[in-house]
Amino acid sequence: MRREKMRRMPRLLPEPIRIEAAGTPTKLIDEHVGLMATGDDRVSIAVMHSPQGWSEPAQAPDFDEWTLVLAGVLHVEHDGGTLTVAEGQTVHVPAGEQVRYSTPDGATEYISVCLPAFSPQRVHRVE
């Protein structure tokens, strides 16, 4: 007996879910794909709108994260120092690496892709 192949169609995701992020001052996240926006646990894709002076607590997440800076500069503190990620550059942070993100130099916009998807249970913030 032959199995019928399930047909999958492209699906438009018309708008993201707006989330307020950890850290100060408030950073806004537009999640296009992920647990909040689509219920997808495999991957999250979000656009971050980070104001000047924003920083968050350190984290050691259970997901890989790729961050593409669209405008501004993102600082990524890690055990070996600090990376300065400029417009048009991407940084990859492997799962388990303790990092702290900040935007002290000015407002910054960037895209974050997490695999598996970002969740509060996977981020492991260091207080």
Can you list the domains of the chain with their CATH numbers?
Answer: 22-126 (2.60.120.10)
Which pLDDT score, from 0 to 100, does residue 50 have?
A: 97
Tell me the CA distances in angstroms from 71 to 13, 48, 90, 103, one per residue in order: 24, 11, 12, 11
Q: How far is CA 40 from the centre of its chain?
A: 14
Residues 67-118: pLDDT tens digits? 999 999 999 999 999 999 999 999 999 999 999 999 999 999 999 999 999 9
Segment holding 121, helix H or strand E: helix 120-123
Which pLDDT score, from 0 to 100, does residue 45 have?
A: 98
pTM score: 0.90
Question: How many C-alpha atoms does 48 have within 13 Å on its Cβ side?
Answer: 30
Residues 26-65: pLDDT tens digits? 999 999 999 999 999 999 999 999 999 999 999 999 999 9
> What gap in Å lies between CA 16 and CA 30, rounded to an integer?
5
Which pLDDT score, from 0 to 100, does residue 6 have?
A: 73
Which pLDDT score, from 0 to 100, does residue 22 have?
A: 84
Task: Read off the tokens for 101.
Answer: 């993100």
Task: Read off the tokens for 11.
Answer: 């699906």
- Given pLDDT bands bounded at 50, 70 and 90, which one contains residue 2? low
Which pLDDT score, from 0 to 100, does residue 107 have?
A: 98
Q: Tell which phi-psi region holds residue 81, choosing left (phi > 0), alpha (psi between -120 and 50) or beta.
A: left
